[in-house]
Amino acid sequence: MQTSLIDIRSQFDKDLSTTKTAAEVEALKIKFLGKKGLIQDLMKGLKEVDPAERPARGKEINDLKETITRQIDELFLSQSSSELKERLAREDIDTSLPGRRRFLGKKHLISQVVDEMLQILGKMGFSVQVGPDIDSEFYNFEALNMGPDHPARDMQDTFYIADQVLLRTHTSNVQVRVMESQRPPIRVVSPGKAFRNEDISARSHVFFHQLEAFYVDKNVTFGDLLATLEQFFKQLFHPDVQIRVRPSYFPFVEPGMEVDINCISCKGAGCSLCKQTGWLEVAGAGMVHPEVLRFGGVDPEEYTGFAWGMGIDRMVMLKYGITDIRMFTENDIRFLEQFA
Ligand code: DAH
């Protein structure tokens, strides 16, 4: 027997008045609007209704369904808002407190400056090529004209990993690798880590960063080297920067030299940063030694080249007035976030 519309309506009103919790609302919804609910029963009963009355009866059922749906929705809404109010009162949230700050990761200062250096050299036509941190004695020493008895190969300064395998002591280890893999003209810049067994202090570390720039072609001259260095340091520090070179010895260049720039802090007048000399040492450089070109399979009768290498950490320290190299590896967020 089919329950009448009026009965269902009054049944619903009665149930609604006693419905309180979320679970009860759900049960009410299933009882009246579910697939096997009372409204559905009414729909099924339509078959037995006189066809002439069916449309009117169908409309009545639909109206009832809509009313019930709306009332259940309203109950649901008022119930969740009262639950929310209760929860807010219970949890006692202080809405005047400042929000939590979200920390976004940033590039490390060293990486930022490396990017800048690569950009400057990129515009001059140098492309980036990185060498391995772990390398053989051959590429780190031998091929750079540092034979077995060379003092730079002292075990005390170099971290050996196995026989003839070491942590590279400089980024110059890329030079011969690059020449082996490509023919001149070669214009390569190579940033990376270098390792030396030194006492850790404010000024030196066992692990630091270097950048090597390397150019091999026909007719590359000492003048090209000077002009490139000057342009590079002007763009990195200041358009008024001047460079000065002093003869020095590195086995893989001839002639070799030390490069200074006039002190960026006192502009050459003399201060504590430049130890009153007015100059800061910034790089080692020179014309690639014929022996090194030969190791790379490049004919020194036909080609010449220049190379320079420099400590990146020191450049960053000068540029930003940082006085302790250890700051770079301590990962103190108070230091790092100053260079966002
Ligand atoms: N590799 C040297 C060092 O670590 C720096 C250097 C000096 C690199 C002279 C060069 C150069 O390319 O020509 O001290």
Per residue in 274-317, pLDDT (tens digit) is 889 999 999 999 999 999 999 999 999 999 999 999 999 999 99
Q: Which amino acid is at 250?
A: F
Note the pLDDT tens digit of each residue in 216-251.
999 999 999 999 999 999 999 999 999 999 999 999
Is 303 inside any structural domain?
yes
Number of domains the chain is built from: 2
Strand-pairing partners, residue 49, are: none
143 and 216 share one domain: yes
User: Considering 58, 91, 124, which residue would you say is the last residue of a domain?
Assistant: 91
Contact 113, 312 (CB under 8 A): yes
**Does pTM top 0.85 for this prediction?**
no
**Ligand 1 shell residues, CB under 6 Å:** 170, 172, 212, 250, 253, 256, 284-286, 307-309
169 and 134 share one domain: yes
181 and 33 share one domain: no
Ligand 1 centre from 172 Cα, in Å?
6
**What angle, rounded to 10 degrees, do the helices at 109-123 and 222-236 form?**
130
Is 103 inside any structural domain?
no
Is 191 inside any structural domain?
yes
Number of the ligand 1 atom closest to the C-alpha atom of 286: 13
**Structural domain that includes position 10:** 2-91
Q: What radius of gyration, in Å, describes the C-alpha atoms of the chain?
A: 39
Whole-Å CA distances, 188 to 127, 154, 197, 206, 209? 5, 28, 28, 26, 17
In degrees and rounded to multiples of 5, residue 106 shows phi and psi of -130, 160
Note the pLDDT tens digit of each residue in 189-203.
999 999 999 999 998
Q: What is the CATH number of the domain that holds 253?
A: 3.30.930.10
54 and 6 share one domain: yes
Residues with Cβ < 8 Å from 70, sequence gap 6 or more? none
Is 97 inside any structural domain?
no
Whole-Å CA distances, 248 to 177, 204, 285? 25, 21, 9
Whole-Å CA distances, 24 to 9, 27, 32? 18, 5, 12
Ligand 1 centre from 1 Cα, in Å?
101
Contact 190, 312 (CB under 8 A): no
Is 130 inside any structural domain?
yes
84 and 116 share one domain: no
Number of the ligand 1 atom closest to the C-alpha atom of 172: 1
